[in-house]
Structure 1
Amino acid sequence: MKRFVPFLIAILALAAPGMGRAETGAWVKSGPVEARLVASVQGVGDLAKIPLGLEVRLEPGWKTYWRTPGDAGFAPRLDWSESRNLKATELIYPAPHRFTVLGFETAGYDAEVLFPIAATPAEPGKPLDLALKAELLVCSTICVPEMVALSLSIPEGPATPGPSANDIARAQSLVPGDGRASGLTVTTVRGQGAVLEVEVTAREPMVAPDVFVETDPPVTFAAPKSQFLDGDRRAILRMDATDPTPGLDLAGRAMTLTVVDGNRSVEAPATAAAGLGGSAGAAPTGLLAMLGVALLGGLILNLMPCVLPVLSLKLLSIVQHGGRAPAAVRAGFLASAAGILTSFLILAGALVAVKAAGGAVGWGIQFQQPLFLVFMVILVTLFAANLWGLFELPLQRAVADRRGACPFPPLRLPPPHPGVIPGVPPT
């Protein structure tokens, strides 16, 4: 019997949770994402900063976001509050990819990504017990926020490299640097109106360079149009703001640029000079062009199924104008237009106030929340049932008396022609 004891102890050690290698946490799955914590070292040693990694895998067709997500989404949100002997952490982002879907420009990662993390222990040399709650927004045809609870313990002992050291070092090599290693250099940045032009040089020929712009307040840009020179070792990248605010002028704007070309990348602060020096064409961004795009967007919006109940209400309100004087009809339509503009100005003011207060907000993100979608389905179903006459919501007596017994005003018929008796056909 005694000879089986070591064998049983070995099996229990392998099967017990948390008894694996100290430098590798367990995989935790939530929806289409699974994640784990890893470390480069097998012990804390006397390191002032311990290199860690947040490893994320995504099912095919799903993506997650960079620190500046673009038109929609949000960056990973990490909560380390339940960790022990942890003073601070710094999440480091590898170079992102661009995702363009239905005109929305976003930046992030698909398939898999390993985020390097620099962890500062409160007491160097003491064990580090990490507990992380990570909220990741993952998107495919819909976007879903996923929460994973991860843990990792790094014991006392020499900070010898562990099996994950190479993976974390590879992820760190993908983090944009100052360009000395990648051979990329941002030489000139120019801005005019809502158009930005970036000139980049490289030691080796470029293939498909891209630029991600971070500025305050945020401005999102479409994919750049590239013009290659000097044997593809110099490129002029010109891009247009996707949703420019009226009067936007990028000249003199301070920004951080991240240029990515394959596995090479560079991050550089810059201030856009005035004027454009390249020859790539830029799309017109005048007031007439913006009004034309807004009119086209309004026409497309009125073809959406969710707008049909509102159109029915507008048709009913138009019928109520029958028989009224032209001035009264004109005043009614002007009042409706003023109400629409006022409502959107209030919404825009609220969004601007939230952003000015430091919050991250975007319009349309509510349609990525399951509870909001359930509420909207119920609301639209009740709306349709009411229009079909399946039920009615009677007005309060005071409101009904004020509006009149009939919901529609009486038609004012023109006076009969002299000599014509109402109801009797003329001879």
Structure 2
Amino acid sequence: MMPRLRLARLAPFALLAVAMPAHAAIGEWVEGEHVRLRLVATHDESGALQGLIEMELEPGWKTYWRSPGDAGIPPRFDFSASRNAGGAEVEFPAPERSDDGFAASNVYHDRVALPVRVAPSTAGQPVRLDLAADLGVCDEVCLPVAIKAVLDVPADDRDNAADGLIREARAALPGPGRPGEFEILALKRVDGDDRAPVFEAEIHAGSADDVLLFAETPADWYPAPPAAADAEEEGVTRFRFAVDRKSATTPIDGAEIRLTLTEGDAATERRFHLDATGAGH
């Protein structure tokens, strides 16, 4: 199924919020429309620079995961204007699933903290993190929001409060799972043709009613939300999801599918590379 944005309900322009540079490990909040954002960064005990994008949403409003689902605006975080930062990799905790009967989306409510791995170009020198964030925020209407935030981080500075926020956010990222109890076991193709293949994932977890599985595919594939396929068998639960590949140019052979499994506050993920038959390895 092609992703569907509620264009009739989408504001025609992005609302831009800009902050002056902050000279501290924890930046000032930048107020956007129904959302605010700040940057956090400090050096860890090894001397490596760790960062964080923290967002808080007004009650009832939501923003989207890196893969928004059937409808939504994927976030974009651009650090290219930063100084002495050769690269910045943003990481995402597992989302919630929001299904309003029209579309199922992968979202965050209330607050979300995204860890950022920063690679200074020159070690031992100050870093300026300059972020341009483009977000979608939705309640009864959906708005594109642009926010700019800047944080100057002194060389080799370490801030305990910032370090605590970053550690907390990293602890919320998907982990390795628990073998035999909470893990993603396998992925294979079980039905459909190449234009609309159906995949089945096997997992170890609690009741299928208590877990969610999220599937991410190549950008020109459009997966339906995975749903429990049948009753549990010897502790194994199966989820199936169909993929719309009618307009795809990315071949099945060699494609990557990333699965994220959640149960309460626990989350784990696994990447599979498909062979020509659609089996994941």
Structure 1 residue 26: Cα displacement: 0.2
Q: Which has the higher contact order (CA 8 A, sep 6+)?
A: 2
Aligned-partner SS, 2:202 = strand
Asked if 1:219 corresponds to 2:218, the answer is no
Residue 110 of structure 1 corresponds to 109
Give the partner amino acid of 2:35. V
Asked if 1:175 corresponds to 2:173, the answer is yes
Aligned-partner SS, 1:125 = coil
* Counterparts of residues 53-202 of structure 1 (less than 5 Å): 53-157=52-156, 159-179=157-177, 184-191=182-189, 192-193=191-192, 194-202=197-205
Equivalent pair of 1:190/1:272 in contact (CA under 8 Å): no
Structure 1 residue 176: Cα displacement: 1.9
1:175-197 superposed Cα distances (whole Å, 9 cap, x missing partner): 22333599532223233114332
* Counterparts of residues 18-417 of structure 1 (less than 5 Å): 22-41=24-43, 47=47, 49-157=48-156, 159-179=157-177, 184-191=182-189, 192-193=191-192, 194-202=197-205, 208-216=210-218, 217-225=220-228, 227=230, 229=232, 233-241=235-243, 245=246, 254-270=256-272, 271=274
May I ask how many residue pairs the two structures share in their alignment? 249
Structure 1 residue 263: Cα displacement: 1.6
1:186-238 superposed Cα distances (whole Å, 9 cap, x missing partner): 22323311433211014x7776111111222322213512645368x432223
TM-score with structure 2 length normalisation?
0.76
Of 132-141 and 171-180, the range deviating more from structure 2: 171-180
CA RMSD of aligned residues (A): 3.2
Partners of 1:235 and 1:273 lie apart in 2 by 25
% identical aligned pairs: 30
Partners of 1:64 and 1:119 lie apart in 2 by 24
> Structure 1 153/228 Cα, relative in aligned 2: closer, same or farther at 3 Å?
farther
Equivalent pair of 1:257/1:268 in contact (CA under 8 Å): yes
> Structure 1 262/238 Cα, relative in aligned 2: closer, same or farther at 3 Å?
same
Give the partner amino acid of 2:227. P
Equivalent pair of 1:29/1:35 in contact (CA under 8 Å): yes
**Unpaired segments ≥5 residues, structure 1:** 1-16, 276-427
1:145-199 superposed Cα distances (whole Å, 9 cap, x missing partner): 1111112111134x43421322221221222233359953222323311433211
Equivalent pair of 2:22/2:28 in contact (CA under 8 Å): no
Equivalent pair of 1:96/1:107 in contact (CA under 8 Å): yes
Partners of 1:114 and 1:160 lie apart in 2 by 19
> Structure 1 76/100 Cα, relative in aligned 2: closer, same or farther at 3 Å?
same
Partners of 2:87 and 2:256 lie apart in 1 by 29
Of 138-147 and 173-182, the range deviating more from structure 2: 173-182
Aligned-partner SS, 1:23 = coil
Structure 1 residue 40: Cα displacement: 4.1
Which structure dedicates a bigger proportion of its chain to strand?
Answer: 2
Aligned-partner SS, 1:163 = helix
**Unpaired segments ≥5 residues, structure 2:** 1-19
Partners of 2:56 and 2:125 lie apart in 1 by 31
Partners of 1:71 and 1:223 lie apart in 2 by 12
Which structure dedicates a bigger proportion of its chain to helix?
Answer: 1
> Structure 1 182/27 Cα, relative in aligned 2: closer, same or farther at 3 Å?
farther
Aligned-partner SS, 2:210 = coil
Aligned-partner SS, 2:74 = coil
Of 221-230 and 119-128, the range deviating more from structure 2: 221-230
Partners of 1:190 and 1:116 lie apart in 2 by 31
TM-score with structure 1 length normalisation?
0.52
Please identify the structure whose Cα radius of gyration is greater. Answer: 1
